[in-house]
Each structure stands twice: as structure tokens, then as C-alpha cells.
């Protein structure tokens, strides 16, 4: 015989068997209750119930006999209670089904018909398969006081934003994707709470954040919080996102106004599709301010925002935008080097020193094949900036554009270059500058643009830049503009070198002769003789400032064969070692 005893104090809640019953191993015999929790006492082996020693409702103190069993090899199982389908799991499964795009077929079809993708499709494209962990998926709009919960669950999934963390090419990344299919992408109370949660986690783990920004600003009809908030101007998402020190990459497709535009604006790199409209105020805000009625497509179209520098990178569609974001996110990762057409570098600079050439051709021949990702191409066109790889190493490239103002640096070009140096410093990326400039642009008209302040930003950014820096002088390197291209002076880079086509001077040769030799030339009466003397003096300055002579006077470190530029840069950056921690902050402009 086997006697089963009570292990502790409890109340007998239910007796499932009676004397004479045959039970199999695992059959529930008695259910006891303690502290509102039930415990099932089961048979350890097949047996026959010989006696039941307690009754339902009886209080136990522990140690009392409960049942006496006779072990038996034969016996029919006492029917167990058939488990009904678990209500909580059924509710869970139906609730989770509402989060899928398949729950909103009409809205999804509309997005696709417009050539766009859903927020979840963008998230799935960004992250490695099965790596995304979502935060706050079950949130709904804070409107329970006015709308049925079932309606909110069906129509305000996630309160209009998908937040989570996953991996991109194995690197951990945080992402937020505004769901335009929920209340036109407006920002609600729980929407911001989800953002703050993700920004906090990303900050603690030092993760990059990718934000898909689309839709309007704050939502005025979140009734659940209307009684405890007046203007909701203490929302923390904007400040926390701006303060985040990891890389921030923004992507916009479609309409992006007000709050979403503000978040997009503080991103380190701003990517947008051709079908995008971005503005600090949308049509409703414009009309509410008494500024007239406008169409959404009249506010900040992509061509305007490319020209004025708001958009760093314009893509054809969201797939291309996500691909570009992945390229930026993988800059810290090592990559296999690919060769480029270095033999063409010798012919990039024309033999005629007065003839312009395409700096992009030099860049494409210098960097690993198809790795140059140019930023702000439509803005500040006198300066070229972007990321690339040289022998597998990620670098930032800053280059003059001889096809615009002969390579002279105007206000927009200086802003563009300074901001890019800040970006590379914040991201810990070394920079290679390609110098071919006659200096800063001058003249009464250019000073009306605030040239003095704008070009000074290039000196400030260079002075505070903490990453390895290499400068290559391709041709002209004159005056303060050339110094700014080298981070503040030819002694500033870890390595400053020139091609044999390089030429340096305190200002343009022709101008230096005209100013410095004005009286001498004016004294020559014969115009032909005067022109000949002028040319002789220019040639004399050129011989003094050409690369081979300047290097012999230690103006910079070396003269190199253009075909070996990749090797020289790689060697210099390897010797430079890691940079110092940057400010982790880049100006929005």
C-alpha cells in the first residue's frame, strides 16, 4: 500500500477520485489550495484507490494522510477533464494577427498602388532575417475614452510606429518606422512613449538608430491625456533623439511634416526618395497660420530640398534608401578590398594647368570599385563629400570641384565641407581630402552671402577634427582655402602629399604677380614687352611653387606617383592609428 500525505498546510479544494477507482500514472487525484494558488497531487504510478482520508474544504496542516493506493498493473484511466482551448492564447493570437500587414489589405494595396512600401516592409528589408525584436507592438492610440478598444486595436496598431532592435549585417541597430497607415503617421502619446523607450535602450547600448519618418506632427485628439496636459510641450522624444550620440540615419518617402520633419532634421544623414515632401509645417498648419491654402505636394518637394541641402542623399525609392542606409551602417565593419583603375589617375589632371577636369573621375579611380556614396550632391556643388572604401578601409572623402568656380570655395561649399568633417568625427571615420582650389571665393557679391562666417566653419571643423587625416594635392593649393582643405594647414594632416602636377602658393599666381609687381609692370611702356615680363614672373612663381620644389622646402611631406595614391593613403592611415573620441555631434546644417 502507498499512503500519500499532505506536504504543507493547505485547503482541500477538489477530490477527483473515489475508492475503487483505477488510475494511471500522472492522473490528478486531489487539488489543494494555498494563498489563492492551486496545486495538483498526481499518481506516481498505476494504482487502485483504496481509501480517501479527507473531504473537500478540509484544512490541512501538513503531514495528514490524503489517500491510500494499491499499486496495480491493470486499470482503466479515470477520465481527465478535457482542456478547453485557452482563452488567453486565443486572444493573444487574434491580437497579434491585427499587427500584420495582412490585417489591412485595403490600406496596403493603396500604399503599393502609390509605389510605396509599408512600415513593416521597410523594417523587414533593413534587418537581417529573424533578428528584429519589437518593442511596444500592442500599443494603441490614447483614445479609449472616446473609441471602443476593439476599434483602436483594429485601426491604430502600435499607435502608428514600429520600434525595435535587430542586426544589419550582424551589427546591432535600433530602428523606428512611422506607420502612415495609422492616422496618417501623426504622433500620439503612446507613439512618443515607444520612441523614448527605444532611444533609451539604444543610448545605453550605443546603437545606431534608423528612423523612417513619414506623416504629420502631434495628434490633437488623444483624449485619454487631454485632461492632464494642456499643450504637451514637455514631450521628451525630440530632445532625447537629438542628444543620442550614436549614428542617426533618417529616411523619408512621402509626406513628412512638423514633428516628423523635426526628427528627420536632427539625423546625421538624411535620405529621401524622389517622391518625398518635407516641411516644418504641412498644409493644415500653413492654413491655420493664415498663410493660405496649399497642396501637400507644394511643400518642400525633393528637388527643392536637394538644392538647399536638407536632403543628403536622394534615392529613386525606399528599397534604394534602405540599401544606402545599410552601406552607412556597415562603415565600421571590415570589408574586402577591391582594386580600381589606378593607372588612370596619372591622366586625371590635364597637362594644361588652366583646364578644368572632373574630380569625380579621380575619386572613382582612387576608391574601391563602386564604393563611393556621395552626399549632398545638389548642394554646395563646389565641394564633393561622401563615404567610400580604400583597400577595404572606410574613409570620408572631401574634395574640391574644379568644374565649379575653378574649385574656389564659396559659402555653401564651406558649410558642406565643415558639416561633413563634423559627421566623420562623430562617427569615428578617417578623412582623405583631395585639394585643387585657388582659395576661398572673393568679391562684393560673395560677401553678401556671409562668406567670412561660412568659410570660417571649415577652419573650426578642421581644428577640432580628431580622426586621422590625409591630404592629397592634385593640382592647385593656394591661400587660406588650401589650408582649410588640409584641416587648417599643411602641417595639420597625418600625411600631406602632392602629385607632380601640384602647385602651391599664398594666393593665385596671376593675382600675386599683378598685385606684387604692379608698379614694375606699369613702368614697362611696350604692351608686348609688359605681357612677356608678366608671363615670366608668373612662370617664376610657378617654378617656385610646383610640387617638387615646394616639397624640397618642406612645405608638405612628399610628392607621390598618382598611380600609388591608394597605397600611400592606406599606409598613412595604418600608421596614424585610431582617432581620438569625437564630439559625437554634427550640426544639422
Q: Please, are residues 369 and 340 in contact by the beta-carbon 8 Å criterion?
A: yes
Give the contacts of 6 (CB within 8 A, at least 6 positions apart).
32, 60, 61, 62, 63, 64, 66
Using CA atoms, how far apart are residues 432 and 435, in angstroms rounded to an integer? 10
3-state helix, strand, coil in the chain (%, to 5): 35, 25, 40
Edge to edge, the sheet with strand 37-42 lists: 37-42, 28-34, 10-15, 59-60
Whole-prediction pTM = 0.87
Q: Please, are residues 163 and 102 in contact by the beta-carbon 8 Å criterion?
A: no
| Strand partners for 560 | none
Using CA atoms, how far apart are residues 160 and 50, in angstroms rounded to an integer? 63
Q: Please, are residues 83 and 55 in contact by the beta-carbon 8 Å criterion?
A: no
Nine-digit cell string for 446? 560673395
The structural domains of the chain, with segments of one domain joined by +, span 2-71, 89-329, 342-502+546-576, 507-545
Looking at the domain 89-329, which fold is it?
Answer: 2-enoyl-CoA Hydratase; Chain A, domain 1 (3.90.226)
Of 202, 573, 184, residue with least CA distance to 389: 573
Domain 89-329 and domain 342-502+546-576 have a common topology? yes
Looking at the domain 342-502+546-576, which fold is it?
Answer: 2-enoyl-CoA Hydratase; Chain A, domain 1 (3.90.226)
For the chain, what is the largest distance between any 2 Cα atoms, rounded to a whole number of angstroms?
137
Looking at the domain 2-71, which fold is it?
Answer: OB fold (Dihydrolipoamide Acetyltransferase, E2P) (2.40.50)
Residues in the chain: 589
Question: Strand 28-34 relative to strand 10-15: parallel, antiparallel, unpaired?
Answer: antiparallel
Taking only the tens of pLDDT, the chain with its 589 residues reads 899 999 899 999 999 999 989 998 889 999 999 888 999 999 989 999 999 999 999 999 999 999 999 998 765 554 555 567 888 899 999 999 999 999 999 999 999 999 999 999 999 999 999 999 999 999 999 999 999 999 999 999 999 999 999 999 999 999 999 999 999 999 999 999 999 999 999 999 999 999 999 998 888 888 888 766 766 788 899 999 999 988 999 999 999 999 999 999 999 999 999 999 999 998 888 888 899 999 999 999 999 999 999 999 999 999 999 999 999 999 988 888 877 777 899 999 999 988 999 999 999 999 999 999 999 999 999 999 999 999 999 999 999 999 999 999 999 999 999 999 999 999 999 999 999 999 999 999 999 999 999 999 999 999 999 999 999 999 999 999 999 999 999 999 999 999 999 999 877 777 777 777 777 878 888 888 888 888 787 777 777 889 999 999 999 999 999 999 999 999 999 999 888 876 667 888 8
86, with CB counted inside 10 A (0-12, 13-18, 19+), is exposed
φ, ψ for residue 349 (rounded to 5)? -85, 120
Amino acid at each position: 500500500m502507498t499512503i500519500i500525505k499532505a506536504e504543507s498546510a493547505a485547503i482541500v479544494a477538489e477530490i477527483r477520485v473515489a475508492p475503487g477507482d483505477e488510475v494511471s500514472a500522472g492522473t490528478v487525484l486531489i487539488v489543494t489550495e494555498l494563498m489563492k494558488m492551486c496545486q495538483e497531487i498526481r499518481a506516481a504510478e498505476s494504482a487502485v484507490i483504496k481509501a480517501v482520508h479527507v473531504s473537500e474544504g478540509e484544512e490541512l496542516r501538513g503531514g495528514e494522510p490524503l489517500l491510500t493506493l494499491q499499486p496495480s498493473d491493470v486499470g482503466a484511466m479515470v477520465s481527465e477533464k478535457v482542456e478547453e482551448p485557452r482563452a488567453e492564447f486565443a486572444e493573444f493570437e487574434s491580437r497579434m494577427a491585427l499587427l500584420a500587414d495582412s490585417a489591412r489589405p485595403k490600406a496596403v494595396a493603396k500604399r503599393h498602388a502609390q509605389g510605396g512600401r509599408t512600415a513593416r516592409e521597410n523594417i523587414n528589408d533593413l534587418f537581417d532575417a529573424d533578428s528584429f525584436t519589437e518593442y511596444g507592438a500592442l500599443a494603441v492610440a490614447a483614445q479609449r475614452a472616446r473609441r471602443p478598444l476593439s476599434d483602436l486595436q483594429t485601426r491604430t496598431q502600435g499607435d502608428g510606429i514600429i520600434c525595435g532592435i535587430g542586426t544589419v549585417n550582424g551589427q546591432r541597430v535600433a530602428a523606428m518606422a512611422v506607420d502612415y497607415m495609422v492616422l496618417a503617421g501623426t504622433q500620439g502619446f503612446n507613439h512618443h512613449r515607444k520612441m523614448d523607450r527605444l532611444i533609451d535602450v539604444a543610448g545605453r547600448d550605443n546603437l545606431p538608430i534608423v528612423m523612417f519618418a513619414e506623416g504629420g506632427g502631434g495628434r490633437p485628439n488623444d483624449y485619454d491625456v487631454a485632461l492632464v496636459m494642456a499643450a504637451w510641450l514637455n514631450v521628451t522624444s525630440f530632445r532625447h533623439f537629438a542628444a543620442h550620440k550614436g549614428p542617426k540615419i533618417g529616411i523619408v518617402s512621402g509626406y513628412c511634416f512638423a514633428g516628423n520633419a523635426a526628427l528627420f532634421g536632427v539625423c546625421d544623414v538624411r535620405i529621401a526618395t524622389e517622391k518625398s515632401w518635407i516641411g516644418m509645417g504641412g498644409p493644415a498648419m500653413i492654413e491655420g497660420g493664415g498663410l493660405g491654402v496649399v497642396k501637400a505636394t507644394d511643400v518642400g518637394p525633393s528637388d527643392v530640398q536637394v538644392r538647399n541641402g536638407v536632403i543628403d542623399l536622394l534615392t529613386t525609392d525606399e528599397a534604394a534608401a534602405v540599401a544606402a542606409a545599410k552601406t552607412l551602417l556597415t562603415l565600421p565593419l571590415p570589408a574586402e578590398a577591391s582594386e580600381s583603375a589606378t593607372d588612370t589617375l596619372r591622366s586625371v589632371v590635364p597637362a594644361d594647368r588652366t583646364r578644368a577636369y572632373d574630380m569625380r573621375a579621380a575619386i572613382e579611380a582612387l576608391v574601391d570599385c563602386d564604393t563611393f556614396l556621395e552626399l549632398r550632391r545638389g548642394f554646395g556643388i563646389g565641394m564633393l563629400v561622401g563615404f567610400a572604401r580604400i583597400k577595404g578601409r572606410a574613409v570620408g572623402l572631401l574634395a574640391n570641384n574644379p568644374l565649379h568656380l575653378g574649385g574656389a570655395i564659396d559659402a555653401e561649399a564651406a558649410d558642406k565641407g565643415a558639416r561633413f568633417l563634423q559627421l566623420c568625427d562623430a562617427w569615428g571615420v578617417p578623412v582623405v581630402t583631395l585639394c585643387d582650389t585657388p582659395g576661398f571665393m572673393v568679391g562684393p557679391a560673395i560677401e553678401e552671402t556671409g562668406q567670412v562666417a561660412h568659410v570660417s566653419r571649415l577652419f573650426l571643423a578642421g581644428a577640432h577634427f580628431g580622426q586621422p587625416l590625409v591630404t592629397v594635392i592634385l593640382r592647385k593649393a593656394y591661400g587660406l582655402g588650401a589650408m582649410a582643405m588640409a584641416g587648417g594647414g599643411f602641417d595639420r594632416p597625418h600625411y600631406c602629399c602632392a602629385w607632380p602636377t601640384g602647385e602651391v602658393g599664398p594666393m593665385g599666381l596671376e593675382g600675386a604677380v599683378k598685385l606684387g609687381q604692379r608698379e614694375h609692370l606699369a613702368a614697362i611702356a611696350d604692351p608686348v614687352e609688359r605681357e612677356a615680363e608678366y608671363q615670366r614672373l608668373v612662370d617664376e612663381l610657378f617654378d617656385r611653387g610646383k610640387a617638387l620644389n615646394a616639397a624640397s622646402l618642406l612645405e608638405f611631406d612628399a610628392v607621390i606617383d598618382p598611380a600609388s595614391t591608394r597605397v600611400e593613403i592606406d599606409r598613412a592611415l595604418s600608421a596614424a592609428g585610431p582617432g581620438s573620441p569625437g564630439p559625437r555631434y554634427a550640426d544639422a546644417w
